[in-house]
Structure formats: C-alpha cells, structure tokens
Amino acid sequence: MTPLVFIALAVAGGLGAAARMVLDGAIKSRASGPWATMGINVSGSLALGILTGSAGEQILPEAWHLVIGTGFLGGYTTFSTASFETIRLIQERQWASGLVSGLGTLALATAAAGLGLWIGGLV
C-alpha cells in the first residue's frame, strides 16, 4: 500500500463516519428504534457487495476497492453500534425490537451483501 492510498483510506474513513452520523440523525428524527443503524448497515453491506463484485471482475482497481470499501464503507457501517443497540433493547425488555435489531440486521445485511456481490459481478 502506497502512502497516498493510506492517506486516502484514512480520509475516506472519516468521510464515511461523517456520512453515517448525518444519515443516522436524519433517520432518528423521523423514526425511533434501531432502524437508522439497520438501514446504514444494510445499505453499506449492499454497497460493499457491489464494490467487491466489481473489483473481482477487474472493473475497479484494488486501490479504489481499499479506499472505498475499507475506508469509506468501513467508517460508514457500524457493527459495534448495532450490537450495543440490540443489547440496550434487550435490557429495556423490548424483546421484539431486540430480536429484529440483532437477527434482522444479520439477515438483511448478509442478504444485501450477497445481492450486491451478484450485481457487482454483472456490471
């Protein structure tokens, strides 16, 4: 990895985190519950699947795959927040929301990543 790619990766990570914060705030101002984090993680999984599928088909250079995938989407998605929200919902005895948050995020994000990988391979 070149120094330029490393710097671009770090900047992209910061931009991804900022994008997550803005989108999270916009969704939470309209809906309560784990929906913001779920939406962010599912959309990030779809985007990473498309990106990885495109890189696998040699459509996208590996440096861009690193910067966008590891940097931006790594900063954008947030497994730790999803885990924390799930535990918080369970502690608050919101069993259905906790189940949707934990298992729903896992199922939907995995399905979105698979769909994205398929789409990325078609491009």
Asked if the model's pLDDT at residue 40 lies above 90, the reply is yes
Q: Per-residue pLDDT averaged across 20-36, rounded?
A: 92
Least Cα distance to 94 among 103, 105, 82, 86 occurs for 86
- Is 86's pLDDT higher than 90? yes
Alpha-carbon distances, residue 58 vs 47, 53, 77, 122 (angstroms): 17, 9, 25, 12
70 annotated among ligand-binding-site residues:
no
Residue listed under structure tokens 């779920």: 38
Calculate the CA dihedral of residues 65, 69, 72, 78 and round it to 10 degrees: -170
**Spatial separation of the C-alpha atoms in residues 98 and 83, rounded to whole Å:** 10
Residue recorded with tokens 């699947």:
49
The annotation status of 114 as a binding-site residue, yes or no, is no
Neighbours of 115 (CB within 10 A): 15
The pLDDT of residue 32 is 83
